[in-house]
Amino acid sequence: MVVIIVAALSVAGAAILVYGRLDPSSSAYFPKCPFYFLTGLKCPGCGSQRAMHELLHFDVIEAVQYNAVLVAAIPFLTLLVLSMAMRGRFPRFHSMLNSAPVIWAVLGIVVLWWIIRNVAGI
């Protein structure tokens, strides 16, 4: 468990350093999405690298334009991790966030986002 946490923290630190320092929209060093490369269609995660760069510079509007779902997912993920950490003290909060309707809604949003961004070109 400790190993996983240390590994995750060091990866996160390296990612913050790289994505804060370099701009994926102008640098040639960042990988393109394999799905976009193969199909020419955007996947739900396309634009995440550029959005992370903008978020690290506190430019939320630019980040939303690159990947709105990524920006929307961050507060939700924070709540999810909090609910897992405090599951013993707030079990109802945890079971509410992890209930089947919430998970189906997440799946629905991801799939809808996938379709809409390719149809509307966002």
Partner 1 sequence: MYCRNCGKELPDDARFCTGCGCSLDAVPDRPWSARYDSGRGAGRPPSYLALAIVVTILCCVPFGIVGIVYSSKVESCLGTGDLDGAWEYSRKARNWSVAGLVLSVLFWIVYVVLIIIGFACTPWWGGEAFYARCMF
**Which two structure tokens, joined as six digits, stand for 98?**
């992890």
Site membership for partner 1, residue 107 (CB under 8 A)? yes
- The 29-68 site mask, x for binding partner 1 (CB under 8 A), equals x-x--xx-------xxx--x------------------x-
Exposure b/e, 93-102, CB count within 10 A at least 16 = b:
ebeebeeeee
Q: How far apart are the first and last CA of the chain?
A: 39
Q: Binder to partner 1 among 5, 100, 119, 120 (CB under 8 A)? A: 100
103/118 Cα distance (integer angstroms): 23
Give the total of residues touching partner 1 (CB under 8 A): 34
Minimum separation from the CB atom of position 26 to partner 1 (A)? 9
CA distance to 3, 15, 74, per residue, from 48 (Å): 27, 12, 12
Please name which of 66, 30, 28 lies closest in space to residue 47, comparing C-alpha atoms: 66
Site membership for partner 1, residue 10 (CB under 8 A)? no
Which positions lie near partner 1, rule CB under 8 A?
11, 21-22, 27-29, 31, 34-35, 43-45, 48, 67, 69-70, 73, 76-77, 80-81, 84, 95, 97-100, 102-104, 106-107, 110-111
